[in-house]
Amino acid sequence: MSKNRGRKTAAKKFVSGFVSILGRPNSGKSTLLNALTGTKLAIVADKPQTTRTTIQGVWTAESSQVVFVDTPGIHAGESLFNRRMMQTIGEALQERDLLLFLIDATARPGALDEEAVELIRGAGAPVFAVVNKIDAVPKKAALLAVIEQYRQWHEFEEFFPVSALTGEGLEELRTAIVKKMPAGPAWFPPDHVTDQPERFLAAEIVREKILAVTRQEVPHAVAVLVDEWKEEGRLTRISMTVHVERAGQKVILVGAKGARLKEIGTAARVELESILGAKVFLTLFVKVSPKWRENERFLKELDWRAMLGAAPLAPATEAEEEQDGPVTL
């Protein structure tokens, strides 16, 4: 009985909450999510609009649990797909205990940054300004100038200079985050890190490798869907289709004699083997799907949350593949 009472006291002290990570594209939100959770959950690239949906990362300690939510970068975009991304950001502003507004300390603050700040105004939750990439800003005066500009734009609760890349300042940030969390239960078991299905992360890893070797409009035109996922003992067979919007983009992705696609596939396979702890046999197809960013049905298929809510991951891509004569490795 005394044991139970002890537990009750411990439960009372427990704090938990939801924290959204927001900011302009490329400011380092996903790098921060990965650093704070100690797990690679979100892909990272030196290109804007890498993250396309919210990604949950749970961090659990002895007496606290924080559910971080990474979001797409705040940007204006015309396509249905871009508008959907902005919608998810809007949702990530609702009912949160704390917001982390990420600022790229290496970028001179401009009109688009001010607009991004506007978006978080009136969200109702306290906002920490996380000034990221300080490892790349050698001059303290430059850092202070950035902070001063944002201070003029908004009354942030506090400023935290950090480097999501090197880890500098992250423990101070984490301590302050935990202090802001209200009393509450652990919403998830301690070993739960994300709600993101493994196969979605796998498709994202392939997209990350594509982003690393392509430029200009190609990264934005790429979408990756898993067609097949078969676990055979220690071997996992995965087949995916990389969708692009135009034939020229397919040529770029495949490369001379398929060399670029092979490079992408190999890099992805190596990382997947380490994540899954299994040997991976990965097959990639490339398919031209014109205007997929405006295609409601396609966007639904990309959105695993909608897919899980509606129907099991659909085998629709298999049929589509046949129509188009896919290119294999």
Ligand X SMILES: Nc1nc2c(ncn2[C@@H]2O[C@H](COP(=O)(O)OP(=O)(O)OP(=O)(O)O)[C@@H](O)[C@H]2O)c(=O)[nH]1
Tell me which residues touch ligand X (CB under 6 A).
23, 25-31, 44-46, 48-51, 72-73, 132-133, 135-136, 163-165
Which burial class, exposed, middle or buried, applies to 230 when counting CB atoms under 10 A from its CB (0-12, 13-18, 19+)?
exposed
Q: Which is nearer to ligand X, 89 or 244 (CB)?
A: 89
Q: Which is nearer to Mg ion, 44 or 147 (CB)?
A: 44
Q: Which is nearer to ligand X, 203 or 280 (CB)?
A: 203
Q: Which is nearer to Mg ion, 89 or 272 (CB)?
A: 89
**Which of ligand X, Mg ion, none interacts with 269 (beta carbon under 5 to 8 A by kind)?**
none
Are 113 and 101 spatial neighbours (Cβ–Cβ below 8 Å)?
A: no
CA distance 12 to 298: 46
Residue 144 corresponds to which tokens in the numbers above?
């202070």
- Chain positions 16 to 55 lying near Mg ion, rule: CB under 5 A, are 29-30, 50-51
Sign of torsion over alpha carbons 245, 247, 248, 251: positive
**Which of Mg ion, ligand X, none interacts with 196 (beta carbon under 5 to 8 A by kind)?**
none
CA distance 120 to 122: 6
**Which of ligand X, Mg ion, none interacts with 46 (beta carbon under 5 to 8 A by kind)?**
ligand X
**Which of ligand X, Mg ion, none interacts with 57 (beta carbon under 5 to 8 A by kind)?**
none
> How does DSSP assign 244-275, residue by residue?
ESSHHHHHHHH-GGGHHHHHHHHHHHHHHHHH
Question: In the complex, what is the shortest distance from the CB of residue 14 to Mg ion, in angstroms, rounded to a whole number?
Answer: 30
Question: In the complex, what is the shortest distance from the CB of residue 30 to Mg ion, in angstroms, rounded to a whole number?
Answer: 3
Number of residue whose CB is nearest ligand X: 73
Work out the number of other CB atoms within 10 angstroms of the CB of residue 238.
Answer: 23
DSSP symbol at 121 = T
Q: Which amino acid is at 274?
A: S
Question: In the complex, what is the shortest distance from the CB of residue 71 to Mg ion, in angstroms, rounded to a whole number?
Answer: 8
Question: In the complex, what is the shortest distance from the CB of residue 247 to Mg ion, in angstroms, rounded to a whole number?
Answer: 29
The residue ranges that bind Mg ion (CB under 5 A) are: 29-30, 50-51
